């Protein structure tokens, strides 16, 4: 097993080539690089699991809300019902549109075309602002994943170069080119590269996957705004002279 591998140089000094041994025996600079990469990797996995849980929940709620939205239930009643529900981006977008609608028609339905157009614009603007705010929340941590994915291999490479420099220094000091002299330093250096890849690969895969899913969800929110404003337009066009306020 790798955890039991040891090597001895010509001076009789044993070197532990396990992962922990490579870390303990490494130069302080290489130690700092390794710690940075391990912390970055742990943080990336925390973001990955959090994003997975969040997306699973909001997609499940979006499916339930979509069924309720198209069930034929009056939208004002639906709005009153979901106000007590756990809010997610889609529910908040719908609530923003309904709040703007109800605050405008409290004094009566607009009967002039320019007032109706202004109402549609305000409703659409309120919903779009909500979408932007909620998507910014959902995208938190994505920049860190992208940063780790693009920089971790180079940080690991820096540790590798530094470790190899130490190996050449050991050769110069001992005047011995034996593999036993340089092997520990090279192993430490390559371990830094491996940690860089361990941090970068999941970060890149997660960033690409979640960016795609978040993009599709943002498109779903935009499509909902279009559908909602279309329903609003049809209602305004079909309103009677009594000025009913319910959608």
Q: What is the per-residue pLDDT across 59-68, written as a single tens digit (0 to 9) for each?
A: 998 898 888 8
**pLDDT value of residue 36:** 93
pLDDT value, residue 187 = 76
Q: How confident is the model over 149-192, as pLDDT tens digits?
A: 999 999 999 888 888 887 777 677 767 666 666 666 777 778 88
88-92, 119-123, 144-148, 181-185: the lowest-pLDDT one: 181-185
239 confidence band (pLDDT: 50, 70, 90)? low
Higher pLDDT, 22 or 125: 125
Over residues 6-33, mean pLDDT:
63
Q: Where are the domains of the chain?
A: 28-238
Contact 220, 85 (CB under 8 A): no
Using the predicted structure, report yes or no on whether residue 141 has a pLDDT greater than 70: yes
Percent of the chain surpassing pLDDT 90:
37
- Would you place residue 10 in the very low, low, confident or very high pLDDT band (cuts 50, 70, 90)? very low
* pLDDT tens for each residue of 213-228: 999 999 999 999 999 9
Q: Between residues 23 and 49, which one has the greater pLDDT?
A: 49
pTM to 2 decimals?
0.78
pLDDT score recorded for residue 179: 63
Strand partners of residue 7: 15
pLDDT given at position 168: 76
- Mean pLDDT of the chain, nearest integer: 81
């Amino acid at each position: 097993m790798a955890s039991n591998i040891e090597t001895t140089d010509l001076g009789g000094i044993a070197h532990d080539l396990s992962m922990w041994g490579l870390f303990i025996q490494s130069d302080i600079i290489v130690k700092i690089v390794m710690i940075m990469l391990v912390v970055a990797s742990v943080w990336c996995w925390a973001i990955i699991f959090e994003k997975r849980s969040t997306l699973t929940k909001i997609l499940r709620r979006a499916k339930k809300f979509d069924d309720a939205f198209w069930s034929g239930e009056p939208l004002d009643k639906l709005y009153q019902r979901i106000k007590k529900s756990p809010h997610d981006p889609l529910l908040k977008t719908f609530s923003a549109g309904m709040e703007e609608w109800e605050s405008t028609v409290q004094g009566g339905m607009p009967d002039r075309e320019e007032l109706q157009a202004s109402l549609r614009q305000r409703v659409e603007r309120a919903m779009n602002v909500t979408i932007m705010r909620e998507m910014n929340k959902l995208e938190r941590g994505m920049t860190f994943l992208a940063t780790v994915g693009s920089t971790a291999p180079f940080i690991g490479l820096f540790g590798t170069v530094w470790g190899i420099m130490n190996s050449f220094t050991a050769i110069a000091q001992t005047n011995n080119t034996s593999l036993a002299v340089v092997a520990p330093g090279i192993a430490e250096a390559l371990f830094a590269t491996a940690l860089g890849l361990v941090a970068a690969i999941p970060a890149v895969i997660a960033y690409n996957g979640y960016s795609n899913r978040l993009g599709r969800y943002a498109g779903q929110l935009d499509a909902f705004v279009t559908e909602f404003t279309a329903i609003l337009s049809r209602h305004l066009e079909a309103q009677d002279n009594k000025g009913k306020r319910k959608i």
